[in-house]
């Protein structure tokens, strides 16, 4: 009665101490809990038996990771620089304490940045490749490639173009080696995660046409496709009828009769 008053229940209904024949061990849960069974298993090293309670568990769905970044989708660098240049920075120069200067600087900087680069929350679609983020050699080659690209853009000569192509090809080769080494190491030392890494980094997710792709499809293609399949039956029937009209009809196929007997 006491358990019912507080909306709980006792699952163990048999003695758990064979010596005295009493139920000293309890499993008390809420009355609404979906616990199915509670079993008492004999134990050889203790005077109390083991109590096992079973309950169904639902697998928790993995929540997608979200990150907060500043969007540069509509950023115009010249407009941002101009607004920062025309902003009133007198409060920063007049503040005496470093903390006050910092707060005054944020009071000018943050609103301007929010207008040109608003804060948004996104879900990353492509996980970072570990053979790029954890490989300093590849990252150094990528920095060298970017510098060569900038030099070629500022001074487009055969020499700068050749340097850029050499750096670009070197980065591609280094990425290929790093990727191969990553999966070889995963197979040798972490085989449990090898297929997970393959599905994560090498196999693209399945997906249909996006609205952007569907907009470029020629209008009316669905009607033509349906018309083609709808006309297959009548067209084939007409061709068969014309063939039978121009040639002699095929003789009827005689029935196949099979006779046999069981051997003794």
Amino acid 105: pLDDT: 93
Apex 154 CA angle, 153 and 156, nearest 5:
65
Amino acid 204: pLDDT: 57
Domain boundary among 146, 167, 201: 201
Report pLDDT digits (tens) over 213-251.
444 445 566 677 677 777 877 877 777 777 666 666 656
Two structure tokens written together for 258: 């099979």
The answer to whether the CB of 70 falls within 8 A of the CB of 117 is yes
Does some domain include residue 244?
A: no
Q: How many CB atoms lie within 10 A of CB 164?
A: 20
Does some domain include residue 83?
A: yes
Amino acid 226: pLDDT: 74
Q: What is the pLDDT along the chain (264 residues), one digit of tens a residue?
A: 576 777 777 777 788 777 777 777 777 777 666 666 778 888 777 888 888 887 777 777 777 778 899 998 888 889 999 999 999 999 999 998 999 999 999 999 999 999 999 999 988 777 778 888 778 888 899 999 999 999 998 898 999 999 999 999 999 999 888 888 888 888 888 777 788 877 777 775 555 444 444 444 455 666 776 777 778 778 777 777 776 666 666 566 555 555 555 555
Amino acid 170: pLDDT: 92
Residues 6+ positions from 150 with CB-CB distance below 8 Å: none
Does some domain include residue 254?
A: no
Q: Which of 204, 186, 205 is nearest to 195 (CA)?
A: 186
134 shares its domain with 116: no
Amino acid 251: pLDDT: 60
CA–CA dist 151, 157 (Å, integer): 9
Domain span at residue 83? 67-122
Does some domain include residue 257?
A: no
138 shares its domain with 162: yes
Amino acid 32: pLDDT: 66
Does some domain include residue 235?
A: no
Measured in degrees and rounded to the nearest 5, phi and psi for residue 94 equal -85, -15
Amino acid 228: pLDDT: 72
Amino acid 116: pLDDT: 92
Does some domain include residue 144?
A: yes
Does some domain include residue 114?
A: yes
Amino acid 67: pLDDT: 87
Q: Which of 21, 13, 18, 24 is nearest to 53 (CA)?
A: 13
116 shares its domain with 135: no
Q: How many CB atoms lie within 10 A of CB 214?
A: 9
Counting the structural domains of the chain, the total is 3
Domain boundary among 77, 97, 122: 122
112 shares its domain with 139: no
Residues 6+ positions from 47 with CB-CB distance below 8 Å: 17, 18, 19
Report pLDDT digits (tens) over 241-264.
776 666 666 566 555 555 555 555
Exposed e or buried b for every residue in 38-74, given b needs 16+ CB within 10 A?
Answer: bebeeeeeeeebebeeeeeeeeeeeeeeeeeeeeeee
DSSP-assigned letter for residue 20: T
72 shares its domain with 38: no
CA–CA dist 201, 128 (Å, integer): 9
Q: pTM surpassing 0.75? A: no
């Amino acid at each position: 009665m006491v358990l019912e008053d507080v909306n709980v229940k006792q699952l163990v209904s048999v003695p758990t101490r064979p010596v005295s024949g009493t139920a000293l061990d309890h499993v008390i849960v809420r009355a609404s809990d979906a616990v199915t069974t509670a079993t008492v298993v004999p134990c050889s090293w203790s005077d109390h038996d083991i109590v096992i309670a079973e309950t169904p568990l639902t697998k928790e769905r993995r929540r997608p990771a979200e990150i907060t970044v500043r969007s540069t989708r509509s950023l115009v660098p010249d407009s941002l620089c101009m607004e920062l240049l025309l902003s009133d920075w007198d409060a920063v120069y007049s503040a005496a304490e470093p903390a006050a200067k910092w707060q005054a600087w944020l009071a000018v900087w943050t609103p301007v940045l929010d207008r040109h680069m608003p804060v948004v929350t996104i879900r990353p679609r492509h996980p970072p490749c570990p053979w790029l983020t954890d490989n300093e050699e590849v990252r150094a080659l990528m920095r060298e490639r970017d510098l060569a690209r900038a030099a070629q853009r500022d001074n487009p000569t055969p020499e700068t173009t050749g340097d850029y192509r050499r750096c670009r090809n070197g980065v591609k080769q280094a990425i290929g080696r790093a990727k191969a080494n990553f999966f070889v190491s995963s197979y040798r030392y972490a085989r449990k995660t090898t297929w997970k890494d393959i599905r994560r980094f090498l196999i693209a997710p399945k997906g249909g046409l996006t609205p952007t792709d569907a907009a470029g499809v020629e209008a009316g293609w669905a009607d033509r496709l349906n018309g083609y399949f709808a006309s297959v039956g009548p067209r084939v029937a007409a061709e068969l009828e014309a063939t039978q009209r121009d040639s002699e009809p095929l003789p009827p196929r005689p029935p196949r009769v099979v006779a046999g007997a069981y051997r003794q």
